[in-house]
Amino acid sequence: MSDFLGPKPLTAASIDAAITGKITTPGSATATALTATYASRAVAREARAGSRGFAFIGDSNTASGVTGSSALLLAPVIYFENPSWVGWAVVTGAGRYHAAAHAAEPGITPAGWVTKYLAGVIAAAPYAVVDALGTNGLTTLAAQQAALTTIYDACDNAGIKVIVCSIPPKSTEGAEVARMNRWKRVIARNRGYLFVDNYATLVDPATGTMQAAYNSDGTHFNAVGARALGIAFNTAINAVLPDVSMLALAQPAPADLVNKPLLLVKSGFVPEDWTSLGFGSASTSVDTVAGVAGKMFTVTQTAEGVNTSSAIALNADLIPGRRYRVEYKYQLTVVGTAPTAASVRLVVTTGGGTTLTSINTQQSVPLSTVTHEFVCPTLPNYNYRLNMTMNGGGVGTKQQIGQVTITDLTAAGL
C-alpha cells in the first residue's frame, strides 16, 4: 500500500496503470483504505464547530428537483423538491451543515461550469464546495479534468473546503465513467479532500449500470435514487463533521424565537402556542420519540387524501441584515399512498411574502435534524411563522416535528 499511497503524477496513463485492478469495487480493501486515509485527514482539519454552508455544484442530476436551477442560487431559500438528491442530503444532514449555494445545470460540463459559475460560487464564500460534476464531456476527459482542477485550485486559494463526489453510472461511456471516477478518487486523496462515492450507492455491480430501482433513463436517477444518494452522502459527512446543531434542550430557551420549542403539551389539535390551519379527519398527538428532547408533534392520516396544516409564530419580528438559524427534528413515515407534498417552511404570518426556509418530500424521511441558515433580506413584512403542511398520504402516514429552534445568531454573537 505504501507505494500506492505516495504522490504520483496525475496523468491519465499513470492513473490507469496504478489503479486498474486495485480499486475493483467500492468496498475493496484498497478503496476502503484510501477513504479512511483522506477522511482521517479531513477530521483533523474539520473538527472545529461553527456555521457550515455547503455549495452544491453539478449538472442535470444535481439540478433535478431544484426550483430555478441553471442559475446560481443562494440562501435565504433554495427550493428542494422530492427528486433532488441535494434536498435529501439537506433534510437528513443531522445538523452538520446547511445549503448556502447551489449551482447546477443540465448538460453542463466542468469546463462550461467554470466559465458560468466559478466566480459566483467563490464570491459566495461557502464553507465547502460539493463537486458532483463530470457526467458530461467525457469524450474530452482531459479538458474536463483540467476544468475540475481549476475549480479545486480556486477553492484552495479561497480557503474553501472541497468534497469530491464520483459521478453516477451510465448505460453508455462506462470506461470513461470509470476513468473519471478513478481520477477523482486519487486527486481527492492527494489533496486531502473527502471523497464521497456516489457511483457505489447507485451502481448495480452485476451490470455496471444504474440499479433498476434508481434508474430513470440510464444517465439520470429517479426520486428513489435521489433519496438513497442524499442519505448515503450524509453517511460519509457524518463520519467527518461533528454535529454543531443548536437545538433547544429546555423551555423556555432564552435564545430561541419560539417560546415553547419542546412541544410538551397539546392544546386542542396542536401543541401550545401553535395555530391549527386545518386537519380534516387527521389525528394529532404529542409523542415521546427516542433521540428527541421533549416531544414531537405528530399528525397522522386516518383517511386518504386529507390536507393538514399548522404553524407556530415567532415571538419577535425578523431584523434585516441579521443571521438566523432554523433547526428542528423531523420525521415523515409514509404508509401506502405518498403525500403529494409534506413540507416545513418559514413564511409570512399574514400569507404571501418571501419564504425563507423550505423542505418538501414525498418519501419517508428518517428522524433527522434539519438545519438552515440565512441572512434576513429587506422585506415588506418581518412577522414570520414556521408552517408544517401535509397534502394527502395513505392511512397511517405520519408527519412529525420537534425541538423547533430559531436562533438570532447575530444577537447571540455567533
**CA gap 271, 284 in Å, rounded:** 9
Query: pLDDT of the chain along its 414 residues, tens only?
Result: 222 233 334 444 443 344 333 333 444 433 443 343 344 334 333 433 457 999 999 999 999 999 999 999 998 889 988 889 999 999 999 889 999 999 999 999 999 999 999 999 999 999 999 999 999 999 999 999 999 999 999 999 999 999 999 999 999 999 999 999 999 999 999 999 999 999 999 999 999 999 999 999 999 999 999 999 999 999 999 988 988 889 999 998 878 999 999 999 999 999 999 999 999 999 999 999 999 999 999 999 999 989 999 999 999 999 999 999 999 999 999 999 999 999 999 999 887 789 999 999 999 999 999 999 999 999 999 999 999 999 999 999 999 999 999 999 999 888
Looking at residue 205, its pLDDT comes to: 95
Residue written as cell 441553471?
A: 70
DSSP run (H or E) holding 357? strand 357-360
d(CA 126, CA 102): 10
Q: Where in the chain is the domain with CATH 2.60.120.260?
A: 266-408
Return the C-alpha cell found at 46. 474539520
146/10 Cα distance (integer angstroms): 11
Task: Phi first, then psi: give them for residue 320, nearest 5 degrees.
Answer: -60, 140
29-46 helix and 174-191 helix, angle to the nearest 10 degrees: 40
Instruction: Please say whether the dihedral angle defined by the alpha carbons of residues 232, 191, 184 and 98, taken in this order, is positive or negative.
Output: positive
Residue 396 is predicted with a pLDDT of 97
Enumerate the β-bridge partners of residue 347: 385
Question: Whole-prediction pTM value?
Answer: 0.88
Q: Is the distance from CB of 102 to CB of 78 less than 8 angstroms?
A: yes
- CATH 3.30.200.20 holds for 2-238: no
Q: What are phi and psi of 168, to 5 degrees?
A: -70, 160
CATH architecture group of domain 266-408: Sandwich (2.60)
Q: How far is CA 147 from CA 141, 151, 368, in A?
A: 10, 6, 36
What number of H helices and E strands is found in the chain? 10, 18
User: Per the structure block, which three cell numbers stand in for 300?
Assistant: 397522522
List of residues 6+ apart from 175 with CB closer than 8 A: none
Contact 198, 168 (CB under 8 A): yes
Q: 272 with 252: CB under 8 angstroms?
A: no
86 φ/ψ angles, rounded to the nearest 5 degrees: -65, -40
Q: Could you give the residue range(s) of every CATH 3.40.50.1110 domain in the chain? A: 2-238
What are the φ/ψ torsions at residue 58 (nearest 5 degrees)? 180, -160
Q: Which residues contact 178 (CB under 8 A, 6 or more apart)?
A: none
Three-state SS for 35-54 is HHHHHHHHHHHHCCCCCCEE
Q: What is the pLDDT of residue 180?
A: 97
Q: Which of 98, 37, 31 is nearest to 245 (CA)?
A: 98
